[in-house]
């Protein structure tokens, strides 16, 4: 009872001291509530004020990003880097370019990243950054000028052993290239390991592009197997058509599933014959077009405006891979009514808290983002390792390491859930597993 009120007190303090930061409040609530059993067993964490410290970023950097468009007009965006926790390694986490980006979203993503990175078993702390810049409709030259301006400030705060950013929504290989070029120019050092997600010809890792989507499939396959299920011949719905969704579709198809839908921020396509992935890649990766163009090439498929309707498509397995809070209670109810057996989160926090509760109460297997989508950052850490060695592993070597890491994350999450009285609840299990490593490192390092 005393303990529950202690956790509630910290949650209330975070809400009061960070007004309006709803996304950040939600993730703090989710994590702290689920680690309550750990605090019960180990008073040392409360005594050392680990919770009070872990919810406070070590550093928040906010800056102006001025850039000039092709017509010569000057624009100003907001830039952010939140260096959340470095107890187990340099800050590590992506950069997001999207008009919705604000401090709350970057803090929520940074906080999640702390536990996710801990779960990977690799020595990386947690951070996140980005800007409210909208890359949609911008020319290559505009993207380059924005990235150069962003890095001109960011380069003061990052480094091989300090903070290693990567991609996220709106930041792919092209943007990482421009960011790295500017970093190298200002710092006059070929610090390849300062950014991950680089091109293969200048220090990138094979299988990094595929890692988050593939990792999600490796993780959920293990979860399904424990319940006597498999991807083979199952109907799968995957939201998004970006990096995570594309490679989730690829691996799901390789596992014998039929993926019948995917989406972008305007709407979704339903193809009862199974999504043609080569066509999706052509539209999104080559043409940088809209998913509705899919039906131009395949008139037998359907296009629907709006994103939420995708969850009303009957399926066995649903993999939200687009963005945060895209699967709400109403969507969860539709999925359950249509007999969904499992939900695996590829995006960060794609399900609302009430949706997760509803899915779990209705015996739907649930793979939480922090664990299930950790494959991307895990391979980013492998990219850093290869950069340090000045050596590259083959695709198969990296893919095998990824498989082993996802299996370790799954087993650790499962074990922690059981050990702390929540058998079968991977959300509680992964939060506990991620927390323990960071909290113990913080204890060992004293009050800092």
φ, ψ for residue 306, nearest 5 deg: 90, 150
8 A C-beta contact, residue 41 and residue 47: no
Closest approach, Cβ 413 to ligand NAP, in A, equals 16
**Residues forming the annotated binding site for NAD(+)?**
212, 243
For ligand NAP, give the closer residue by CB, 142 or 168. Answer: 168
Q: How far is CA 402 from CA 120, 211, 222, 343, 395, in A?
A: 10, 7, 14, 21, 10
Question: Known binding site: residues?
Answer: 92, 113, 116, 167, 212, 243, 380
DSSP state of 285: I
Beta-carbon contacts of 28 under 8 Å, excluding residues fewer than 6 positions away, are 10, 11, 14, 55, 111
Look up 418 and say whether it is catalytic: no
Minimum distance of ligand NAP from residue 228's CB (angstroms) = 28
User: Which of 29, 73, 78, 128 is flagged as catalytic?
Assistant: 128
**Nearest distance from C-beta of residue 113 to ligand NAP, angstroms:** 9
The DSSP call for residue 283 is I
The Cα–Cα gap between 230 and 328 comes to 26
Least distance (Å) from ligand NAP to the CB of residue 44? 32
Residues 435, 82: Cα–Cα separation, whole Å:
19
Q: Which CB atom, from 11 or from 387, has the smaller least distance to ligand NAP?
A: 387
DSSP-derived letter for residue 304 is: E
For the bound state, the minimum distance from the C-beta of residue 444 to ligand NAP, rounded and expressed in Å, comes to 28
* CA 142 distance to own-chain centroid: 26
Binding site for ligand NAP (CB under 6 A): 167-170, 212, 240-245, 263-266, 307, 321-324, 326, 346-348, 373, 376
Give the Cα-Cα-Cα angle 330, 333, 337 (nearest 5 degrees).
Answer: 145
Q: Residue 270 Cβ, how far from ligand NAP at the closest point, in Å?
A: 15
- For ligand NAP, the nearest residue by Cβ is 242
Distance CA 127, CA 109 (A): 8
For the chain, how many helices (H) and strands (E)? 18, 12
Select 34 or 324, whichever has its Cβ closest to ligand NAP. 324
Which of 2/278 has CB closer to ligand NAP? 278
| Nearest residue to 157 (alpha-carbon basis) of 95, 88, 74 | 95
Considering beta carbons, is residue 77 or 113 the nearer one to ligand NAP? 113
Q: Which is nearer to ligand NAP, 27 or 241 (CB)?
A: 241
φ/ψ region of 106 (left if φ > 0, alpha if ψ in -120 to 50, else beta) reads alpha
For the annotated catalytic residues, the residue numbers are 128
């Amino acid at each position: 009872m005393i303990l529950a009120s202690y956790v509630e007190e910290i949650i209330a303090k975070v809400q009061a001291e960070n007004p309006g930061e709803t996304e950040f409040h939600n993730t703090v609530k989710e994590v702290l509530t689920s680690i309550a059993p750990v605090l019960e067993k180990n008073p040392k964490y409360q005594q050392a004020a680990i919770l009070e410290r872990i919810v406070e970023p070590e550093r928040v950097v906010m800056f102006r990003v001025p850039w000039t468009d092709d017509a010569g007009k000057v624009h100003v965006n907001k830039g952010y880097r939140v260096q959340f926790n470095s107890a187990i390694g340099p800050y590590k986490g992506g950069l997001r370019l999207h008009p919705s980006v604000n401090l709350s979203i970057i803090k929520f993503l940074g906080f999640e990243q702390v536990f996710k990175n801990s779960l990977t078993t690799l020595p990386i702390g947690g951070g996140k950054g980005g800007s409210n810049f909208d890359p949609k409709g911008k020319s290559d030259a505009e993207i380059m000028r924005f990235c150069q301006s962003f890095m001109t400030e960011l380069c003061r705060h990052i480094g091989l052993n300090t903070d290693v950013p990567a991609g996220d929504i709106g930041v792919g290989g092209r943007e990482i290239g421009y960011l790295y070029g500017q970093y190298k120019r200002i710092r006059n050092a070929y610090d390849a390991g300062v950014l991950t997600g680089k091109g293969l010809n200048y220090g990138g890792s094979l299988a990094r592009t595929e890692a988050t989507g593939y990792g999600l499939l490796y993780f959920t396959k293990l979860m399904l197997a424990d319940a006597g299920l498999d991807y083979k011949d199952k109907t799968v719905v995957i939201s998004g058509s970006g990096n995570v969704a594309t490679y989730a579709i690829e691996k799901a198809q390789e596992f014998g599933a039929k993926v019948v839908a995917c989406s972008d921020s305007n709407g979704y396509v339903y193809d009862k014959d199974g999504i043609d992935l080569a066509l999706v890649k052509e539209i999104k990766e080559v043409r940088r077009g809209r998913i509705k163009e899919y039906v131009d090439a395949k008139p037998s498929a359907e296009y629907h405006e709006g994103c939420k309707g995708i969850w009303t498509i009957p399926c066995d397995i649903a993999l939200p891979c687009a963005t945060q809070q895209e699967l709400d209670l109403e969507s969860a109810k539709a999925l359950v009514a249509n007999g969904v057996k499992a939900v695996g989160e590829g995006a960060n926090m794609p399900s609302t808290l009430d949706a997760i509760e509803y899915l779990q109460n209705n015996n739907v297997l649930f793979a939480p983002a922090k664990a299930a989508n950790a494959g991307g950052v895990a391979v980013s850490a492998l990219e850093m390792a290869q950069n340090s060695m000045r050596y590259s592993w083959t695709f198969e070597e990296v893919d095998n390491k990824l498989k082993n890491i996802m299996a370790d994350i799954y087993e650790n999450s499962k074990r922690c859930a059981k050990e702390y009285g929540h058998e079968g609840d991977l959300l509680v299990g992964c939060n506990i597993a991620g927390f323990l490593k960071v909290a113990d490192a913080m204890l060992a390092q004293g009050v800092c």
